[in-house]
Chains A and B, each alone.
Chain A
Amino acid sequence: MMKRFFTIFFLAIITVIAFYVSGIISVSPSPYNGVAKYMVDYTIQKTHALNSVTAIVFDFRGYDTLGESFVLCTAVTGVAVILRKAVKGGRKDETK
């Protein structure tokens, strides 16, 4: 009984906080004067690239793209480990 009461109590508190925060975010003026405005304004001056999406992905957020490309490396390693039977079978056929 106490367990159920505490569960409902904390769920109610979390719901109230979520509604409060989302209401504040939707009411307050949008912060367009931050990093987004800087990126849009200074793309050509800082990077000499016409495509601003590529400039953001490979210049302003280059570290993020580094992690993304290593995620792909991990995926390839996982596929090669799980399907190692197929890799080995292919190699046997190649040696023939």
Chain B
Amino acid sequence: MKQNKKEKKEKKAKNIIIKCGCDFLLPITLVLGMYIILHGHLSPGGGFQGGVVVSAAVVLVFLAYGNDGIRKTFAPDKMKVTENIGSLMYTFFGLLGILMGANFCRNAIFNIGNPGDLYSSGTIFWMNFSVGLKVMMGIGFMLIVMLRVLDVKNE
């Protein structure tokens, strides 16, 4: 009993410095991740790297508010569906080459816009976006499930 009370007290008294730090870092992390995904064809980075940076939001919320905070903020079922939508988007933009009369994964619409613009490189931009969507949702779902194991064993 005494040990349980001690554990409950420790759970209630989360460090306020960690809470404030995570609240401060969360929007910066999300914006930086989306920037890396959307500017993948102009600056270093791409879908994989930006997706992993965005999915670090799960870890930040866990550090600040624990598993209860994750349950309140994220919807893992919808995240699973969104990941599959991302992979279907990638396959569609690969098939777009065949639909436009070339081979699979050919960049058939590359000459939209000037090189250097944000929306410039045709399917590369969209493939970056779909891979980023897929990676951020997949890694986030994996992290949520892995962090839930801590709760299940305690109960």
State which of B9-17, B19-27, B36-44 sits at the interface with chain A: B36-44
Chain A proximity of B102: nearest CB distance (Å) = 12
Choose among A51, A54, A76 the residue that contacts B138 (Cβ–Cβ < 8 A). Answer: A76
Q: Number of contacting residues on B, CB 8 A?
A: 48
Choose among B47, B128, B145 the residue that contacts A80 (Cβ–Cβ < 8 A). Answer: B145
Q: In the complex, what distance in Å separates the CA atom of A58 from the CA atom of B104?
A: 12
- Contact: A58 with B128, CB < 8 Å? yes
State which of A7-15, A17-25, A26-34, A81-89 sits at the interface with chain B: A81-89
- Contact: B116 with A59, CB < 8 Å? no
- Contact: A51 with B87, CB < 8 Å? no
Q: Number of contacting residues on A, CB 8 A?
A: 33
Q: In the complex, what distance in Å separates the CA atom of A23 from the CA atom of B78?
A: 55
Residues on B facing A (Cβ under 8 Å): 40-44, 46-47, 71, 76, 80, 83-84, 86-87, 90-91, 94, 104-105, 107, 110-111, 113-116, 120-124, 127-128, 131, 134-135, 138-139, 141-142, 144-146, 148-149, 151-152, 155
Residues on A facing B (Cβ under 8 Å): 44, 46-51, 53-55, 57-59, 62-63, 65-66, 69-70, 72-73, 75-76, 79-80, 83, 85-87, 89-90, 93-94
